[in-house]
Chain A
Amino acid sequence: MKQTTCAGNMSQVVLILDSVISPSDLQKRLGRFISEFPVVNGSISRDINICPYWRMPGNTEGELNLVSYDCADESGLLPLLAECANRPFKDGTEHLAFHLINVQNQKSCLAMTFDHRLFDARGAESFLRLFQQHVESNSIAGVSSGVSLTAPAHLSGWMKKFLAGRNVNRKIISLSEHSLAALPVSDGKKKGFRFRLIRFSEQETKTIYDNAYRSAGYLMETPYLLSVIMQAVNGLFMSRKSEEGSYLAAVSIDMRSCEDIKQELFFNHVSYLFFQAQSHLVNNRNELVNSVKLQMYDQIKTGLPRDIIEASHLTRIAPLSFFKKIIDGPLKGKIATFIFSHVSKNPLSPELMGAKIEDVFHLPRVPVPPGLGFFSNYFNGRLNLVISYLDGLMSDDEVDVLERTITERMLEG
């Protein structure tokens, strides 16, 4: 259990910059910035009979892990980033690693690999936004005030957490009524993750958002993007002649508003929505979009995402073997067909250390199972979509088809 789920505990946010920045300058500035936040060098700790907690380090001088690379051409960038995303942290106190890549002496790429216990995706972007402010003002005083460096302990109200756990358990049982399609995960040696990046131009992004509006309605791009991806995944299973009748997408969502993020920067605040579609429904785009919208509405109305957050606190007191029983029981070892998330807002300012930020995207490692995820984000008028998958889960040809199908369907409306 621990071996499989820990694979999802890392992610990487990538900034593409329009010019080269100096590694030594970055090292100096990042070192000064990170030293203001000893929380990043904390560790999970558990004293006798006490729930696990985040122990702050005794020594506030944390070591900065920054490695610089040269990349001869842009085609080599994604494989290099994948290598960085797959490199494990050295121990339980390291939760951040930075990679600065010089691309042909013309551009740079700054990648921050982070432990998902320390940040979620929007928290990581907000942390880099603080770094930008720190660089601009050259002091911690210039960094936004009101950042909370401590998370509530959540060590009270256990009855509420158990009731939330009951609701989540009922939802899991209802989702498990249909046989779930999932790609088989091969066991054996530890495997890394591979990534495909689909970058849409400004014009293509506008077309996609127009399609989303026509098909799903105002501000309904998430249900639209998910529906397109579900159709493409259906194509993958059809080509494998899978007989499973239902697809389940676990969609990670951030329950914080933009204002909340400023105060709750650290730790993970993600929850989930679940979308299920029978394979016969998936071929009809309009029906699928409506079904996704209604499922989203019903789950928010019944408070499922908040129940999941509440219930997740039970992981502090329940042994891992208990969760293994839930997954192996009603879910028969399958958690979802794939994971999806869409980050529609970005807190970053346009420049970092004098270089303009051209693009931003995320390369998360997906928990196994399912080991397959789709992660879209909107930046500077453009949409990016990353396909993240466990090495060996799909053949290169299958990923090619998936990539082509998603691109075509997004644009055709």
Chain B
Amino acid sequence: MTLPDIQKTLIQGIASITSKDEAAISADVPFHELGIDSLGFVEILVFIEKTFKLQLIETGLDKKDFATIHSLASFLHKKL
């Protein structure tokens, strides 16, 4: 998958989890500013496992990799 494809898939998943329009979700806004808390974040991690077959809950959940959709997409792109 290309980086833009991963980013688009993530935005679709996050829009579904947060009940927001895809257009209202910016790839450069931190997750906590999207109104996402621990529960929402774990829902995103489950979405990632189901979509990309990558389990991330046991990784360090480092802020630099998970801060925004863009940085998360880059992180996933490296892992895939």
Q: Chain B's interface: helix, strand, loop or mixed, by majority?
A: helix
Known A-B contacts A257-B17, A258-B18; A345 and B35 likewise in contact (beta carbons under 8 Å) = yes
B42 touches A300 (CB 8 A): yes
B61 touches A217 (CB 8 A): yes
Query: What's the least CB distance linking A254 to chain B, in Å?
Result: 8
CA distance A72 to B20 in the complex (A): 47
Residues of chain B from 18 to 74 with CB closer than 8 A to chain A in the complex: 18-20, 31-32, 35-43, 45-46, 49, 57-58, 60-63, 66-67
- For the complex with contacts A219-B66, A257-B20, A300-B39, 9 further pairs of A-B residues with Cβ separation under 8 Å are A213-B63, A218-B31, A219-B61, A223-B38, A259-B19, A260-B19, A296-B42, A300-B46, A345-B37
Residues of chain A from 294 to 346 with CB closer than 8 A to chain B in the complex: 294, 296-297, 300-301, 342, 344-345
- Chain A interface size band reads 20 to 34
* List of A residues within 8 angstroms of B17 by Cβ: 257
Convert A188-229 into 0s and 1s, putting 1 for each residue whose CB lies closer than 8 angstroms to a CB of B. 000000000000000000000000010011111111000000
How many residue pairs, one in A and one in B, have C-beta atoms under 8 Å apart? 69
A259 touches B20 (CB 8 A): yes
- Chain B interface size band reads 20 to 34
B46 touches A218 (CB 8 A): no
CA distance A222 to B17 in the complex (A): 18
B18 touches A257 (CB 8 A): yes
* List of A residues within 8 angstroms of B40 by Cβ: 257
* List of A residues within 8 angstroms of B35 by Cβ: 257-258, 345
CA distance A290 to B49 in the complex (A): 18
B41 touches A293 (CB 8 A): no
B31 touches A259 (CB 8 A): no
Can you name the residue of chain A whose Cβ is closest to the Cβ of B50?
Answer: A301
CA distance A219 to B18 in the complex (A): 15
